[in-house]
Chains A and B, each alone.
Chain A
Amino acid sequence: MKNSHWFQVVGAAAVTVGMAVNAPLAMADGDADLLVVAKASDPQTLDPAQTMDNNDWTVTYPLYQRLVAYDVSEDGKGLTSVVGELASDWSASDDGTVWTFDLASGNAFSDGAAVDAAAVEYSFNRLMALGRGPSEAFPGGMKVEATGDMQVTFTLEQPFAPFLYTLANNGAGIVNPAVEGKGDDHGTEWLSANSAGSGAYMLTGWERGQSLVLEPNPNYGGATPEIEKIRVDIIAEAAARRLKLEAGDVHIAESLPVDQLDALGSTDGVEVQNYPSLKVTYLYLNNKVAPLDNVDVRRAISAAVDYQGIIDGILDGNGVQMHGPIPEGMWGQNKNATQYSYDLASAKKALDVAGGASEEISFLYSDRDPLWEPIAIATQAYLSQLGLNVKLEKLANATMRERFDTGEFGIATGNWSPDFADPYMFTNYWFDSKRHGLAGNRSWYSNDKVDGLLQQAVVSSDTAERTALYGELQEIVTDEAAYVYLFQKDYRIAVRDDVEGFVFNPMLEDIFNFGGMSLSD
Chain B
Amino acid sequence: MSFLNVIRRRLMFLILVLFGVTVITFTISNLIPGDPARMIAGDRATPEIVQNIREDLGLDKPLPVQYLRYLEGVVQGDFGNSIRTRRPVLEDLRIFFPATLELALTALFFATALGIPLGVASAVWKDKPIDHFVRVIAVTGISTPAFWLGLLVILLFYGNLGWLPSGGRIDPSLEMPTRVTGFLMIDSLLAGDFQAFGSALKHILLPAFTLGFVHLGVVARQVRAAMLEELQQDYIRTAKANGLSRFKVVFTEALPNAMIPSITVLGLALGDLLYGAVLTETVFAWPGMGAYVVNSIQALDFPAVMGFTVVVSLAYVLINLAVDLIYMAVDPRIREVS
Contact, CB under 8 Å: A240 / B285: yes
* B169 CB–A CB distance under 8 Å: yes
Contacting B285 at CB < 8 Å: which of A25, A132, A140, A235?
Answer: A235
Complex Cα–Cα for A34 and B172 (A)? 12
Contact, CB under 8 Å: A398 / B32: yes
Using Cβ atoms and an 8 Å threshold, which residues of chain B touch A440? 43-44
- Minimum CB–CB distance for B97 against chain A, Å: 12
Which residues of B, 216-269, contact A by the 8 Å Cβ criterion? none
Given known pairs A17-B201, A243-B158, A401-B43, the reply for A235 and B167 (CB within 8 Å) is yes
Contact, CB under 8 Å: B39 / A398: yes
* B159 CB–A CB distance under 8 Å: yes
Using Cβ atoms and an 8 Å threshold, which residues of chain B touch A19? 194, 198
Which residues of A, 435-493, contact B by the 8 Å Cβ criterion? 438-440
* A496 CB–B CB distance under 8 Å: no
* A166 CB–B CB distance under 8 Å: no
* A20 CB–B CB distance under 8 Å: yes
Contact, CB under 8 Å: A396 / B34: yes
* A116 CB–B CB distance under 8 Å: no
* B271 CB–A CB distance under 8 Å: no
Could you say which of B58-66, B85-93, B135-143 contacts chain A?
B85-93
| Closest residue on chain B to residue A45 by CB atoms | B86
Which residue among B95, B171, B198 has the maximum number of chain A CB atoms within 10 Å of its CB? B198
Contact, CB under 8 Å: B298 / A210: no
* B330 CB–A CB distance under 8 Å: no
Given known pairs A131-B52, A396-B34, A405-B38, the reply for A438 and B43 (CB within 8 Å) is yes
| Closest residue on chain A to residue B52 by CB atoms | A131
Contacting B86 at CB < 8 Å: which of A50, A131, A133, A429?
Answer: A50
Contact, CB under 8 Å: A25 / B173: no
| Closest residue on chain B to residue A395 by CB atoms | B33
Contact, CB under 8 Å: A131 / B198: no
Per-residue interface assignment for chain A, residues 380 to 424, with 1 indicating a CB less than 8 Å from any chain B CB and 0 otherwise: 000000000000000011110111010000000000000100000
Contact, CB under 8 Å: A26 / B86: no
Complex Cα–Cα for A21 and B198 (A)? 5
Using Cβ atoms and an 8 Å threshold, which residues of chain A touch B147? 237
Contact, CB under 8 Å: A135 / B162: no
Per-residue interface assignment for chain B, residues 170 to 198, with 1 indicating a CB less than 8 Å from any chain A CB and 0 otherwise: 11110010000000000000000011011
Given known pairs A50-B86, A207-B172, A243-B159, the reply for A44 and B166 (CB within 8 Å) is no
- Minimum CB–CB distance for A44 against chain B, Å: 5
Complex Cα–Cα for A47 and B201 (A)? 34
Contact, CB under 8 Å: A192 / B85: yes
Contact, CB under 8 Å: B53 / A132: yes
Given known pairs A188-B86, A402-B33, the reply for A237 and B158 (CB within 8 Å) is no
Contact, CB under 8 Å: B283 / A131: no
Query: How many B residues face the partner with a CB closer than 8 A?
Result: 67
* B288 CB–A CB distance under 8 Å: yes
- Minimum CB–CB distance for B197 against chain A, Å: 5
- Minimum CB–CB distance for B112 against chain A, Å: 18
Contacting A52 at CB < 8 Å: which of B42, B47, B171?
Answer: B42
Contact, CB under 8 Å: A209 / B287: yes
Given known pairs A233-B285, A439-B46, the reply for A398 and B85 (CB within 8 Å) is no
Contact, CB under 8 Å: A211 / B168: yes
| Closest residue on chain B to residue A213 by CB atoms | B172
Given known pairs A237-B283, A439-B45, the reply for A210 and B172 (CB within 8 Å) is yes
Using Cβ atoms and an 8 Å threshold, which residues of chain A touch B171? 25-26
Contact, CB under 8 Å: B298 / A398: yes
| Closest residue on chain B to residue A41 by CB atoms | B295
Using Cβ atoms and an 8 Å threshold, which residues of chain B touch A135? 49
Contact, CB under 8 Å: B166 / A240: yes
Which residue among B45, B176, B194, B199 has the maximum number of chain A CB atoms within 10 Å of its CB? B45
Using Cβ atoms and an 8 Å threshold, which residues of chain A touch B194? 16, 19-20
Contact, CB under 8 Å: B43 / A439: yes
Complex Cα–Cα for A134 and B46 (A)? 11
Complex Cα–Cα for A358 and B201 (A)? 63
* B321 CB–A CB distance under 8 Å: no
- Minimum CB–CB distance for A250 against chain B, Å: 10
Complex Cα–Cα for A398 and B36 (A)? 9
Using Cβ atoms and an 8 Å threshold, which residues of chain B touch A398? 32-35, 39, 298, 300
Which residue among A20, A52, A233 has the maximum number of chain B CB atoms within 10 Å of its CB? A20
Contact, CB under 8 Å: B291 / A42: yes
Contact, CB under 8 Å: A45 / B85: yes
Using Cβ atoms and an 8 Å threshold, which residues of chain B touch A244? 166
| Closest residue on chain B to residue A246 by CB atoms | B159
* A23 CB–B CB distance under 8 Å: yes
| Closest residue on chain B to residue A188 by CB atoms | B86
- Minimum CB–CB distance for B319 against chain A, Å: 24
Complex Cα–Cα for A208 and B170 (A)? 12
Contact, CB under 8 Å: A23 / B199: yes
* A323 CB–B CB distance under 8 Å: no
Contact, CB under 8 Å: B44 / A439: yes
Complex Cα–Cα for A207 and B169 (A)? 10
Contacting B151 at CB < 8 Å: which of A22, A133, A237?
Answer: A237
* B40 CB–A CB distance under 8 Å: yes
* B165 CB–A CB distance under 8 Å: yes
* B282 CB–A CB distance under 8 Å: yes
| Closest residue on chain A to residue B176 by CB atoms | A207
Using Cβ atoms and an 8 Å threshold, which residues of chain B touch A299? none
Contact, CB under 8 Å: A429 / B172: no
Per-residue interface assignment for chain A, residues 117 to 133, with 1 indicating a CB less than 8 Å from any chain B CB and 0 otherwise: 00000000000000111
* A236 CB–B CB distance under 8 Å: yes
Contact, CB under 8 Å: B34 / A401: yes
Contact, CB under 8 Å: A209 / B96: yes
* A371 CB–B CB distance under 8 Å: no
* A83 CB–B CB distance under 8 Å: no
- Minimum CB–CB distance for A435 against chain B, Å: 8
Which residue among A21, A26, A240 has the maximum number of chain B CB atoms within 10 Å of its CB? A240
* B299 CB–A CB distance under 8 Å: yes
Using Cβ atoms and an 8 Å threshold, which residues of chain A touch B292? 209
Using Cβ atoms and an 8 Å threshold, which residues of chain A touch B165? 25
A-B contact pairs, 13 of them (CB 8 A): A20-B194, A45-B85, A47-B86, A132-B40, A133-B42, A133-B45, A136-B41, A237-B151, A240-B283, A240-B285, A249-B166, A398-B39, A402-B33
Q: 10 closest Cβ contacts across the A-B interface? A: A20-B198, A209-B287, A398-B34, A52-B42, A133-B42, A192-B86, A235-B285, A211-B172, A210-B287, A131-B52
- Residues on B close to A: CB < 8 A? 32-35, 38-49, 52-53, 81, 84-87, 92, 95-96, 99, 147, 150-151, 154-155, 158-159, 162, 164-173, 176, 194-195, 197-199, 201-202, 281-288, 291-292, 295, 298-300
Q: Supply 11 further A-B pairs (C-beta < 8 A) apart from A21-B201, A23-B199, A234-B287.
A: A16-B194, A45-B86, A132-B41, A140-B46, A208-B96, A233-B172, A233-B285, A236-B291, A237-B284, A402-B34, A439-B45
